[in-house]
Each structure stands twice: as structure tokens, then as C-alpha cells.
Amino acid sequence: MPDRTFLGWPFFDAPHRELADGAAAWAAAELIGAGGGGHHGGSVDDACRSLVRRLGDSGWLRWCVPAAYGGAREGLDVRSLCLLRETLAHADPLADFAFAMQGLGAGPVSLFGSDALKRRYLPRVASGEAIAAFALSEADAGSDVAAMATTARRADGGYVIDGAKTWISNGGIADHYAVFCRFPEAGERGFVALMVDADNPGLRVAERIDVIAPHPLATIEFDGCRVSAEALVGTEGGGMRVALGTLDVFRSTVGAAALGMARRALDEAVGWTRERRAFGKPLADFQLVQARLAEMALDVDAAALLVYRAAWTRDAGAQRVTREAAMAKLFATEAAQRVVDGAVQLFGGRGVVSGAVVERLYREVRALRIYEGTSEIQKLVIAGRLLGEEPAAGGGNGSRKGGGAP
């Protein structure tokens, strides 16, 4: 079970501590103890579908939607989302992926949708009966989301979508997609967010994408894809506000996922260096090993402070946490890469054996420095806030593996 001493920090109240302890116990028994923790038989599609149902059946997905629509709290509590993502990522990064994409994919509706949209989509997301996806990225519009070419236009009392999205997490297995489009009728900087069901005849899964850590990703094409006026999320012309507002909430949780993987790598490294002997004594007795472990522990705690500061700030009522979330995402993901790399080094040859815990973490952690805003984009976002400017690059790709999700 991961370290929970940080729950004594003032960021958390008693319900948060209860949630974290319950989630950790469930993950230890149902993911790690049940033979999970990264080992999934069959296809990744089947594994994700199974994880979504299990997370829904166990009540964890209720934290992804508001209480009035099957959720656990009145609004989205970012500290709870971060605690759950950290816990799941520590146990099984694919379980974290399944949880995160339910939150991010449903986020536009939770935060900006009409009551009708919320009633239609959110209860099934919370129960795990439906899989959600967030379709923002394009082949030539990753971090520079304003460069998207997919368009929507008014037609027959609704909208028609044409274009393509790529690097879309849950692409091919999702039941519905939050799709972001250029909307020329609202002017040059007009965008629109629309909900599209997977069985819409104008939507096609064009290509499945294989990546270093297997996750369901795809390119989605829209050819005369018709949706009703009720599919609109937010306002006409306000689609970019929906996209960036959703990312503003969920970006901190990416840092939490990185934190969970870093904690797991540190736990594995500490256990291994105590057990492994070299030159007649445990590795943990060597000062160079102790120094590496100290650096890893420092990265973990610093990341945790930034992640939970950002989450607490949002929960305390801040309308925007762009700077705090960017700092949390940037530092936590870069730090996790260092920590996991350090763990692989301490394991030596065993650290690069396919299927070893630290080897799986090494593959899983790399993408976190890219999706929902690359590290480079986060630096621009932070600098823009310092200089009192809104960066031109909005930094967001809702895909799991795109240029800037969940």
C-alpha cells in the first residue's frame, strides 16, 4: 500500500483521508492482489472495458460526475480526483487511464453541459456502463489547439461535422465523444464543442494507434456527421472555453497520476535495495544508493505538494488555476520520469526485463510529459501567467498520448 502520511497535510479533510484509505485498500486487493497491477490478459480494449465496469461497480467512477447525475459530490472535487488517480496509478497505470478518461471525457458535460446532456450521459459514465472520450487533438493541431481544422456548421436545426481527430484515448471503444470543432459562423476564433455518439453513421474509426504502453488510441474521422442542436456543449463560439476549462480542472490530476507511478517506483526501489546484496552487503548500505533514494524521495514529496496545492486551490473556489495546474503537471511528470529512471537503474539488469514493475512504469510514465500539454507548453503557460498574458498555445490535447488526457 502506498505511503499515506501526506494525508496529514492541511490540504485534506477527514472525508478525503477516508476516500484515500478506502481506495488504497481496494486497489491493493482488486488490482495488485488480484494479479493486476499491469498484467492484463487478452486485448487492451477488453482490459479497459473490464476496468471501467469494475471501477463503476465499486463506486469509484461516481467521483467523475456531479452528485445530481449519479456522482459522489455536488461538484467535481479535484483533490478527490487526484487522490484516486494517484492511488490507481500506483497500483495499475491502466486502471488510472480508465478512470481518468471517464472524468476527462465527461468533463465538458459535467462542467458546461445542459441539464439534458448531463442526464443523458453522466449517469452511465458514473456506473461504468458507458465509456467516454475527449476528442480535441488533430494531426496538425496538438499543442496548438487553435490550429484545428475539423469544422462544424449549422444544418437542419443541428450541426454537421467534417474532419478528423487523432491520438484520441478510448478511440474505438468509447460510447460517446466530446468533439471540438472550428465554427466559422461565429468568426475566425469561433469554436464549438459537440457530443457525438459512437454509433453515429458519420463517425468512423479510421486507424488504431499502437504506442509503447498499450492503451486504446485511434484516429476518428467525421464525414457529414450530423448531430442535433441538443448536442451542443456550452455556447456556439465558446468551444475553446469548454476545452481549456476542462483541461484546467483535469491537468492537476495528470500530475497526480505521475505521482502515483513515482511513489510505486520509489517503493519498489527501497524494497529492492534492502533485499539485494552486493560485495557482501545490501545495496541500501552504499552511500551512492542512499543518495539516489534521497533524490527520488525529494522529487516525490515536492511533486505531491505542487499537485495538491493546485487541487486545493481549485476546490477552495478559484475560477482559474492555470498557473498552479501547469506547475503541478510540469514538475510532477518530469520528476516521475527521473524517479522511475532511478528505480530502473537501481534494479540493474532486472529493471529492463520485460514485465518487471519498474520496466512497465518506465513505459507508462513517458507519455505523461506529452499529453494534456507538453512540458514545453506548460513552461509557456506559466510564463504567460507571470507576464500577465494568455499564451497563444492553449496547451491541450485531450488524448492520452497526444501533444498536450485525462
Position of cell 499529453? 371
Burial status of residue 285 (CB atoms within 10 A of its CB: 0-12, 13-18, 19 or more): middle
372 classed as catalytic? yes
CA pair distance 369, 255, nearest whole angstrom: 9
DSSP letters for 41-84: -S-HHHHHHHHHHHHHHTTGGGGGSBGGGT-SBSS--HHHHHHH
What is the residue type of 233?
A: V
3 state SS of 187: coil
DSSP letters for 306-334: HHHHHHHHHHTT-S--HHHHHHHHHHHHH
How many of the other CB atoms lie within 10 Å of CB of 140?
A: 10
3 state SS of 392: coil
Which residue of the set 129, 334, 372, 376 is catalytic? 372
CA pair distance 341, 359, nearest whole angstrom: 9
Active site residues: 372
